[in-house]
Amino acid sequence: MTMHRREFLQAVGASTPAALPASADAPATASANQPPTEPRVLLYDDGRHASPLYQYAPPLTPDDFVITVDQLADSGVDTLVYAAGLEGGTQIYDSRVAQTWGDNVKQWTHPVWYRAGRHLKQLIDDGHDPLELICRRAHQQKLLLLAGNWISLQGADRATEGGRGRQSDFVFDHAQFEVGPEKDPRARHAHPRRFSFLHQVVRDERLAVFEEMLTRYPTDGVEINLTEFVPLCRFDEVDRLSPLLTEWLRRLRKTADRAAQDQGR
Give the pLDDT score at 254.
Answer: 98
Assess whether pLDDT exceeds 70 at residue 156.
yes
Give the pLDDT score at 32.
Answer: 54
Does 36 or 70 have the greater pLDDT score? 70
When pLDDT is cut at 50, 70 and 90, the band that residue 132 belongs to is very high
The per-residue DSSP string of 97-131 comes to SSPBTTTT-SS---HHHHHHHHHHHHHHHTT--HH
Does 16 or 235 have the greater pLDDT score? 235
The pTM score is 0.86
Give the pLDDT score at 50.
Answer: 86
Question: Is residue 134 within 8 Å of 66, Cβ to Cβ?
Answer: yes
Assess whether pLDDT exceeds 60 at residue 9.
no
* Sign of the C-alpha dihedral computed for residues 105, 107, 110 and 114 taken in this order: positive
**Residues across the chain:** 265
